[in-house]
Structure 1
């Protein structure tokens, strides 16, 4: 039986690195490079026109990478986006996965590791560089322990709930009849109480807290142990956001 060909697009604004990746992948008989690009809009174009099985994308390049990932994941679910980047920023990883990326790889990985990751994602799985995934999970666990000790005011909880729905500070201000400056103040207080460095971390920690509160209040049996913390467990399970 013939091995299915995995069609791949590569988008990175560093030509030498991009061509190096392409050269490595061309050596595999089951891989075919359909096109290369250098910006977020190139990624969108390749996805729409050619619909590769896997689209390798950098995080930091011209254009809004996260918006493009979200657009592709919503409009073209069969195109699986795999981030390949030097960025070890947890916020970048959270944003990419929330946008719909099916994996997050650091550029220090070896050729065979990249090949295995592409095949894994093509099969519908989620793939994150193991060492980096461990770092993400460790921080989730630490923040879950810390959140048990926090005490949000009613207004702080109102604000973070609206932020968790994806609203901007201005939209939250309009909805709650506050000034945008006041919303920023409340968000700063929430992040300080959670020891969170950004909005993404604060929202992720509070979602877990709310789940636990719901279980406690209504007597819902606790869910069986997950493979990982909430956000990563959902992604590792192969469910698109």
Structure 2
């Protein structure tokens, strides 16, 4: 039985695709088994040939991310490496959440691409170092924002009402508190959010809520 890594290449730029195939074809431990130019062809190659590694672009005819999700679900042994010009963090997150095990930027050297393919074939994850550093930095920033917006239940309750347009007096009446107590809580909220006034506090907390919602959606994707 051959120990060669069987690779499929799917990209709608023929010269790029053929160049990658030529580079990989010179290696003893890698075999290019198929080429395609669309998301549908990526699914077809995965279903018919079950390559060990499937190189895919994110920008080509069809829905590449849907194809990744479908391939990962139906053919768990086919490991996907995205090879793309897109440095978009949204694309990287979508690809990784969709089941890709690698994300490599075009322009990578031949040896680095081969290293990525070999690593993914062995069960590792590979992300272009510059992009990986950026994703990690943003993840740490997100964690920092989580700590910075560590409001108590009552503080969050009050800022939500303020965000809905209520005055301190209206918030006090609605929650059965004194207006002085509401002002005290709002002072705490502004300090925690590093806001100079109510408008900045509301803007900051809405941004925080939106980031929370986006991350939950991302983590819940199949």
TM more than 0.5: yes
- Per-residue CA deviations over 1:144-181 (Å, capped at 9, x if unaligned) read 10122235669x9xxxxxxxxxxxxxxxxxxxxxxxxx
- Per-residue CA deviations over 1:195-233 (Å, capped at 9, x if unaligned) read 74x964x3389x7xxxxxxxxxxxxxxxxxxxxxxx9xx
| Post-superposition offset of 1:189 | 8.7
Instruction: Rate the CA distance shift 1:139–1:129 in 2: closer, same or farther, 3 A.
Output: same
Q: How does 1:169-188 map to 2 (within 5 A)?
A: none
Q: Does 1:69 align with 2:37?
A: no
Residue 81 of structure 1 corresponds to which residue in structure 2? Answer: 80
Q: Does 1:49 align with 2:64?
A: no
Residue 140 of structure 1 corresponds to which residue in structure 2? Answer: 139
The Cα RMSD (Å) is: 2.8
Instruction: Rate the CA distance shift 1:189–1:118 in 2: closer, same or farther, 3 A.
Output: same
Residue 105 of structure 1 corresponds to which residue in structure 2? Answer: 104
Larger Rg: 2
Structure 1 segments unaligned to the other structure (5+ residues): 157-187, 208-230, 232-240
C-alpha contact (below 8 Å) 1:54/1:82 kept by paired residues: yes
Out of 208, 215, 218, the residue aligned to residue 193 of structure 1 is 208
Give the paired residue count: 173
TM value normalised by structure 2 = 0.70
Residue 121 of structure 1 corresponds to which residue in structure 2? Answer: 120
Q: How does 1:196-235 map to 2 (within 5 A)?
A: 196=211, 200=214, 202-203=215-216
TM value normalised by structure 1 = 0.65
Structure 2 segments unaligned to the other structure (5+ residues): 161-202
Instruction: Rate the CA distance shift 1:35–1:134 in 2: closer, same or farther, 3 A.
Output: same
Partners of 2:132 and 2:206 lie apart in 1 by 23
